Amino acid sequence: MSQRPRILVVEDEPAIAELIAVNLRHGGFEPVCAADGATAQHALDAVLPDVILLDWMLPDVSGLRLARQWRAHPRSKHVPILMLTARGDEPDKVAGLDAGADDYITKPFSTQELLARIRAVLRRRAPEQADEPLTDGGLTLEPATRRVIWQGTPLKLGPTEFRLLHYLMAHAERVHSRTQLLDKVWGDHVYIEERTVDVHVKRLREALGDAGALIETVRGAGYRFTAHSSQ
């Protein structure tokens, strides 16, 4: 993706938060730090992150409670959560996973381990953020080279159209509402109007030419990529 995956780091110890942030930046991510639950909630409301790193012990609220809260909320329920736990706290790990965390990392952890775990949850939860080429309906999208090829011919797409197509192809056949697309493709739906999605879908179809028919409008619901259109 052209945008670096955004990682919300919820950690109250400044030295650890800073160390994580530096390593994330170095690893190709965009860290956003929050030292307590309220700040984390504020950051999450502003822009939906791609992954949340969540410390167990926070000054105002437990990480466990935040994980439960975010899992229960429609906007944040699909954001992968990685809990940071102290060494040897087995019951904590189980409780964290029960609360909806995707994985946990035991402190102290190595940078390599942290980055590997983040990449793993991103691959599991968001196939559009992986680098594997996608092929469907005669159309191929190569994330690594940022190329889109229709029946042997490379097509020219703008960056937003590329991300939009990437997301739709990674979740082919499924219908996505405009709000979902704003969250997943733009990363935020707070400051952007839903009509923006329609504008970019129109541009995407124009850029795709004959392959534009693969992007289907589902009346009253949203859009989907389908190689098996019934229309």
Q: 57 or 120: whose CB is closer to Ca ion?
A: 57
By CB under 5 A, the residues from 8 to 27 that bind Ca ion are 12
> Closest separation between CB of residue 116 and Ca ion, Å?
22
CB of 159 to Ca ion, least distance (A): 38
Task: Decide whether 54 or 118 has the Cβ nearer to Ca ion.
Answer: 54
Smallest separation (angstroms) from Ca ion to the CB of 36: 10
Of residues 36-95, which lie at the interface with Ca ion (CB under 5 A)?
Answer: 55, 57
With respect to Ca ion, which residue has the nearer C-beta, 85 or 180? 85
Q: How many other CB atoms sit within 10 Å of the CB of residue 90?
A: 8
- Cβ at position 11, least distance to Ca ion in Å: 6
**Nearest partner of 181 among 218, 229, 156, judged by Cα:** 218
How far, in Å, CA of 221 to CA of 81, rounded?
Answer: 28
Sequence-distant contacts of 116-119: CB under 8 A, at least 24 apart: 117/82, 118/5, 118/7, 118/24, 118/27, 118/29, 118/51, 118/53, 118/82
**Residue nearest to Ca ion according to CB distances in the complex:** 57
Judged by CB under 5 A, the number of residues near Ca ion is 3
Closest of 154, 169, 155 to residue 223, by C-alpha: 169
Interface with Ca ion (CB under 5 A): 12, 55, 57
